[in-house]
């Protein structure tokens, strides 16, 4: 079974440009998440999709970030315009339903991340 994949693995752009990150979750996983780690900081939650619907976008830093998940399959995260402080590693994760056979399930499957460098 293929894991979570992210593209590109690394992106270098100039301040003010636009970048779009893509995430392909594990097939059949309705839940998709975006996280990021900016330089020297901890991994922080950005948002959560259930199928194509945004369930929680409380972690999105500002309106320069736009996440979509059309059709409930892959997701994109667009940064427009990019700023220097957006540099970091962006992780995507997916998961099954939180309740499996009557038991809570906290397992999320993470992709390798996209390293974004804004110069």
Partner 1 sequence: LAKTTQPISMDSYEGQEVNITCSHNNIATNDYITWYQQFPSQGPRFIIQGYKTKVTNEVASLFIPADRKSSTLSLPRVSLSDTAVYYCLVGDDDYKLSFGAGTTVTVRA
Residue of the chain from 17, 20, 38, 44 that contacts partner 1 (CB under 8 A):
44
Instruction: Tell me the Ramachandran region of residue 63: left when phi exceeds 0, alpha when psi lies from -120 to 50, beta otherwise.
Output: alpha
Position 35 contacts partner 1 (CB under 8 A):
yes
Q: Is 110 in contact with 94 (CB distance < 8 Å)?
A: no
Structure tokens given for 119: 């110069």
Shorter beta-carbon distance to partner 1: residue 1 or 42:
42
Position 53 contacts partner 1 (CB under 8 A):
no
Write the DSSP string, 88-115.
EEEEEEEE--SEETTEE----EE---EE
Position 42 contacts partner 1 (CB under 8 A):
yes
Count the residues of the shown chain that bind partner 1, applying the rule CB under 8 A.
Answer: 27
Residues in the site for partner 1, rule: CB under 8 A? 4, 31, 33, 35, 42-45, 48, 55-56, 58-59, 91, 93, 95, 98, 104-113
């Amino acid at each position: 079974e293929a894991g979570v994949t992210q593209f590109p693995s690394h992106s270098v752009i100039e301040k003010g440009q636009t970048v779009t990150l893509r995430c392909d979750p594990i097939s059949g996983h309705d839940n998709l998440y975006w996280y990021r780690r900016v330089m020297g900081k901890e991994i922080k939650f950005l948002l959560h999709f259930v199928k194509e619907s945004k369930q929680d976008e409380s972690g999105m830093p500002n309106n320069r970030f736009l996440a979509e998940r059309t059709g409930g399959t892959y997701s994109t995260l667009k940064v427009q315009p990019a700023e220097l402080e957006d540099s970091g590693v962006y992780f995507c994760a997916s998961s099954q339903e939180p309740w499996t056979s009557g038991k809570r399930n906290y397992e999320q499957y993470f992709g390798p991340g996209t390293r974004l460098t804004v110069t």
